[in-house]
A and B are shown apart, each in its own frame.
Chain A
Amino acid sequence: MTVSVPAPHSGPAAGPRKLKVATASLSGCFGCHMSLLDLDERLLQLAELVEFDRSPITDIKHCGPCDVGLIEGSVCNSENVHVLREFRSHCKVLIAFGACAVAGGLPAMRNGLDVGDCLKEIYCDRVGPGGLIPNDRELPLLLDKVYPINEVVRVDYFIPGCPPSGDAIWKYLTDVIAGRMPRLEHPMLRYD
Chain B
Amino acid sequence: MTQPTPSLDQVLPPILARHGNDPTRLVQILRDAQDQLEYLAPDTVTALARALNIPRTRVESCVEFYAFLHDQPRGRFRILFSDNITDRMLGNQALFEHMLKRFHLAPGQVSEDGLVSVGLTSCTGMCDQGPALLINNMPITRLTPRRVDEICDLVQSGLPLADWPSHYFKVEDNIRRAEVLLGSGFRSGDALRAALARGPEAMLAELKRSNLRGRGGAGFTTGVKWELCRKARADIRYIVCNADEGEPGTFKDRVLLQSFAERVFEGMALAGFTVGARQGLLYLRAEYQYMMPHLLAVLERMRAAGLLGRAILGQVDFDFDIDIHLGAGAYVCGEETALIESLEGKAGRPRIRPPFPVTSGYLGKPTVVNNVETLCKATEIALHGGAWYEAQGTKQSTGTKILSVAGDCERPGLYEFPFGVHVSEVLAECGARNAIAVQVSGASGMCLSPEEFGRRIAFEDVPTAGAFMIFGPGRDMFEMALNFADFFAHESCGFCAPCRIGTGLVQKMMHKIAAGQGTRYEVNEMLRLRELMRTTAHCGLGQTAGNAVFDTLQKFRPAYDRRLQDTDFIPAIDLEAALARARAMAGRDDADAHLGAQA
Report A136-157 residues with CB < 8 Å from chain B CB: 137-138, 140-145, 147, 151-154
User: Measured between C-beta atoms, what is the minimum distance from B596 to chain A in Å?
Assistant: 9
Which of A78, A85, A115, A138 is packed against the most chain B CB atoms within 10 Å?
A78
Is the beta-carbon distance between A137 and B588 smaller than 8 angstroms? Answer: yes
User: Measured between C-beta atoms, what is the minimum distance from A19 to chain B in Å?
Assistant: 21
Given contacts A143-B579, A152-B571, A152-B575, contact A120 B585 (CB under 8 A): yes
Given contacts A133-B585, A151-B572, A154-B521, contact A144 B590 (CB under 8 A): no
Is the beta-carbon distance between B579 and A135 smaller than 8 angstroms? Answer: no
Give the complex CA separation of A151 and B571 in angstroms. Answer: 6
Give the complex CA separation of A81 and B598 in angstroms. Answer: 11
**Interface contact tally, CB-CB below 8 A:** 71
Binary flags per residue of A84-113, CB closer than 8 Å to B gives 1, else 0: 010010000000000000000000000000
Given contacts A147-B573, A152-B571, A153-B569, contact A141 B582 (CB under 8 A): yes
Q: Give chain A's interface secondary structure class.
A: mixed
Range for the number of chain A residues in contact with chain B: 20 to 34
- Which residue of A is nearest B571, CB measured? A152
Give the complex CA separation of A153 and B581 in angstroms. Answer: 22
Is the beta-carbon distance between B593 and A81 smaller than 8 angstroms? Answer: no
A116 at the B interface (CB under 8 A): yes
User: Measured between C-beta atoms, what is the minimum distance from A82 to chain B in Å?
Assistant: 8
Contact partners of B588 in chain A: CB under 8 A: 135, 137, 141
Give the complex CA separation of A114 and B519 in angstroms. Answer: 30
Is the beta-carbon distance between B568 and A145 smaller than 8 angstroms? Answer: no
Is the beta-carbon distance between A116 and B581 smaller than 8 angstroms? Answer: yes
Given contacts A147-B573, A152-B573, A152-B575, contact A78 B592 (CB under 8 A): yes
A119 at the B interface (CB under 8 A): yes
Binary flags per residue of A67-93, CB closer than 8 Å to B gives 1, else 0: 000000000001001000100100000
A15 at the B interface (CB under 8 A): no
Give the complex CA separation of A126 and B79 in angstroms. Answer: 50
Contact partners of B573 in chain A: CB under 8 A: 145, 147, 151-152
Contact partners of A152 in chain B: CB under 8 A: 571, 573, 575, 599
Is the beta-carbon distance between A133 and B586 smaller than 8 angstroms? Answer: yes
Is the beta-carbon distance between A143 and B571 smaller than 8 angstroms? Answer: no
B584 at the A interface (CB under 8 A): yes
Quick one: which of A119, A135, A145 contacts B578, CB cutoff 8 A?
A145
A134 at the B interface (CB under 8 A): yes
Is the beta-carbon distance between A153 and B587 smaller than 8 angstroms? Answer: no
Given contacts A116-B582, A119-B582, A154-B568, contact A141 B593 (CB under 8 A): yes
Given contacts A151-B573, A153-B569, contact A135 B586 (CB under 8 A): yes
B583 at the A interface (CB under 8 A): yes
Give the complex CA separation of A135 and B584 in angstroms. Answer: 10
Is the beta-carbon distance between A134 and B586 smaller than 8 angstroms? Answer: yes
Contact partners of A142 in chain B: CB under 8 A: 579, 582
Binary flags per residue of B554-584, CB closer than 8 Å to A gives 1, else 0: 0000000000000011011101011111111
Given contacts A119-B585, A135-B587, contact A144 B595 (CB under 8 A): no
User: Measured between C-beta atoms, what is the minimum distance from A113 to chain B in Å?
Assistant: 11
Is the beta-carbon distance between B581 and A137 smaller than 8 angstroms? Answer: no
Beyond A120-B585, A143-B578, A144-B580, 17 additional contacts (C-beta under 8 Å) are: A116-B585, A119-B586, A135-B586, A137-B590, A141-B582, A141-B592, A144-B577, A144-B579, A144-B581, A145-B578, A147-B573, A151-B573, A152-B599, A153-B569, A153-B599, A154-B568, A154-B569
- A residues engaging B (CB < 8 A)? 78, 81, 85, 88, 114-116, 119-120, 133-135, 137-138, 140-145, 147, 151-154
Give 10 pairs: A residue, B residue, CB < 8 Å, sorted on A.
A116-B582, A116-B585, A120-B585, A134-B586, A141-B592, A143-B582, A147-B573, A152-B573, A153-B599, A154-B521
